Amino acid sequence: MSDMQFGSSKALSMGIELELQILNRRDGDLTHGAGDLIRILEGSGHPGDIKPEITESMIEISTGIHERYDTALAELRAIRDALVAAAEKLNLLVAGGGAHPFQRWNERQIFDKPRFKQISALYGYLAKQFTIFGQHVHIGCPDGDTAMYLTHAMSRYIPHFIALAASSPYHQGTDTSFDSSRLNAVYAFPLSGRAPVLDRWDDFVAYFEKMRAARVVESMKDFYWDIRPKPEYGTIEVRVFDTPLTVEKAAALAAYVQALSRRMLIERPIVVDDDLYLTYSYNRFQACRFGMDGLIIDPATREHVTIHQDIVATCEKLAVDAQELQSSAALDQVALWARERLNDARWMREQYAQTESLADLMWKQSQYFRTGA
């Protein structure tokens, strides 16, 4: 199969990736532990996949392919437990969250892997500043045309995903006033943003080949889009989530994406054209800056609505989808977070207010990740 032949997968199957923080126990700062963690975990028989990310202070976990929320959650918990146990042997902590609140980017060490070295050589200091942590959700598509439609249709809900997962309010020891500051680092890369408005796979392949011929990209990995097709997996990949503080929340957010995808593919309510992206950047900023309280504009109706109200209304429409997918519990949780305007950024600010210590906050985040409560 060529690298741009779309590999069919079962519609609405899902997989979850989480980038996690590796901390020292002394002061909760990031530390260089990825290589040691991976060596300990090799041959341990842990579920899923655990692999390095661009710097030694990051590690990525990923599930297999799932059709149901409960099985995805069970696997995430098992991977978490294996990772936490390995970290304990090294006297390290593991935490969720979209960005470390006081790490110094210049102290980061690029992981010794050819692709990461290549990225560092190309992007300079941006590569080390890319020590940020996101959740990626893959949704299976039967063919490339379906993937292109879903890539664009889901863009309408990007503000939901950002606001629900936001967990990076602090940067360089300071409250940024953003709920998600992580995405500001992503958008520094020239190939970030959104996919071009193309709704047929053959047209997208032609676009990609032009970019490859111009030596702008070598593979789909070079596009840092908010949502991108992944032909080798037969999926689309939603990439805007900050890593939640718990795997329980990560699984619920993936189930929300899955339910939305089902509704999009049944009704095809979104018209894919340039107008779909008329308010895209504005809405994305509102979600990053204000979280649940952001005010977004529907690109089709031009109506203004707060993000938390839009999520609640969307959850009501997805009740049947969640029931069919056996994920009603996850959808109920998402609706509750929206009604109460809760996200991890709010939790972090509340915890910080108790001691005014970012080191204490990181210790609490690591405990929250370990237990889910």
Q: Is residue 277 part of a domain?
A: yes
Tell me how many domains the chain contains. Answer: 1
- pLDDT at site 67: 97
Kindly report the CATH number assigned to the domain that includes residue 219. Answer: 3.30.590.20
Give the up-direction half-sphere exposure of residue 243: CA atoms within 13 A in the CB hemisphere. Answer: 27
Q: Is residue 9 part of a domain?
A: no
- Tens-place pLDDT, residues 196-231: 999 999 999 999 999 999 999 999 989 999 999 999
- Tens-place pLDDT, residues 307-363: 999 999 999 999 999 999 999 999 999 999 999 999 999 999 999 999 999 999 999
**More confidently predicted of 208 and 112:** 208
Q: Which residues lie closer than 8 Å to 233 by C-beta, 6 or more apart?
A: 7, 9, 15, 138
Q: What is the rounded average pLDDT of the residues 7-11?
A: 92
Q: Contact at 8 Å (CB) between 341 and 312?
A: no
Q: Is residue 71 part of a domain?
A: yes
- Domain containing 69 equals 14-361
Q: Is residue 136 part of a domain?
A: yes
Q: Is residue 47 part of a domain?
A: yes
Q: Is residue 372 part of a domain?
A: no
Long-range CB contacts (< 8 A, 24+ apart) of 118-122? 119/54, 120/54
Lowest mean pLDDT among 39-43, 107-111, 247-251: 107-111
Q: Is residue 1 part of a domain?
A: no
pLDDT band at 188; cut points 50, 70, 90 = confident
pLDDT band at 2; cut points 50, 70, 90 = low
State yes or no: pLDDT of 1 exceeds 60: no
Q: Which residues lie closer than 8 Å to 74 by C-beta, 6 or more apart?
A: none
Q: Is residue 200 part of a domain?
A: yes
